[in-house]
Amino acid sequence: MDGKKIAILVDQQYQELEVWYPYYRLKEAGHTAVLVGPEKGRTYPSKTGYPATAEMSVKEALEEDFDGVVIPGGYAPDHLRRHPDVVKLVRQIHERGGIVAAICHGGWIIASAGIVKNRTATCFFAIKDDLVNAGANYVDEEVVVDGNLITSRKPDDLPAFMREILKQL
C-alpha cells in the first residue's frame, strides 16, 4: 500500500473520539497521521482534558505535503478557524483535490474556508445553519461524500466516516 499523509487538526476543547479514532485507523491502514495545531509541541486538552500534542504547527504545514486533512469536532474548530493559516491550509488541500474530511463541529472550518458552496454536506445539527448560510446543501446522513469533501455528524458516525476516508485514500 502506498501510504498517504493526512493532517488531523487539533486545538483546545477537541472531541476525543473524533481525533483519536481517525488518527489510529489511518496509522493501522498504513498511512501517516500528523497532529497539526496552532503551535508545534503545545499540548491541547480535549473537552474532558485528554491531551493531544501538536506534532507540527499549521504555519509549518504545507498543503503539498498532505494528501488530506481531517477536521474533528468539539469546540476546537471554533478556535482553529480564527487562525488564517488553518483556513488557508484546508482551502488549499481542497483546491488541489486532496481529501477534506470534517465531522461534527468541523463544519465550521469548511464553512470558513469557503469550500461548501453548492456542495452537499452534513454536520452536527447545531451548526446546520452555518453550513446552509455558507451555501451548502445540508442533508442529515451519517456520512456524505461530495467529490473530495467527506462530512459526518457526530462520534457515532465515525465508522462510516473512516470507511469513506480510507476508500478515497
Q: Which residue is listed with cell 499549521? A: 58
Q: Which of 31, 94, 104, 123 is catalytic?
A: 104
What pLDDT, on the 0 to 100 scale, is given for residue 89? 98
Contacts 24+ apart (CB under 8 A), 155-164: 155/15, 155/17, 155/18, 155/21, 155/103, 155/104, 157/103, 158/17, 158/18, 158/21, 158/22, 158/103, 161/22, 161/101, 161/103, 162/21, 162/22, 162/25, 164/101
Q: Which of 31, 94, 105, 123 is catalytic?
A: 105
For this structure, is 104 an active site residue? yes
Q: Return the H-helix or E-strand segment holding 153.
A: none
Domain total in the chain: 1
Task: Say whether pTM exceeds 0.75.
Answer: yes
> Over its length of 169 residues, how does the chain's per-residue pLDDT go in tens digits?
479 999 999 999 999 999 999 999 999 999 999 999 999 999 999 999 999 999 999 999 999 999 999 999 999 999 999 999 999 999 999 999 999 999 999 999 999 999 999 999 999 999 999 999 999 999 999 999 999 999 999 999 999 999 999 999 9
Cα–Cα distances (Å) from 50 to 12, 47, 63, in that order, read 10, 8, 28
Q: What is the DSSP string of 127-138?
A: GHHHHHHTT-EE
Q: What percent of the chain has pLDDT over 90?
A: 99
Q: Kindly report the CATH number assigned to the domain that includes residue 132.
A: 3.40.50.880
Q: Residue 118: which domain range?
A: 5-168
Task: Summarize pLDDT for 56-95 with one digit per residue, the tens.
Answer: 999 999 999 999 999 999 999 999 999 999 999 999 999 9
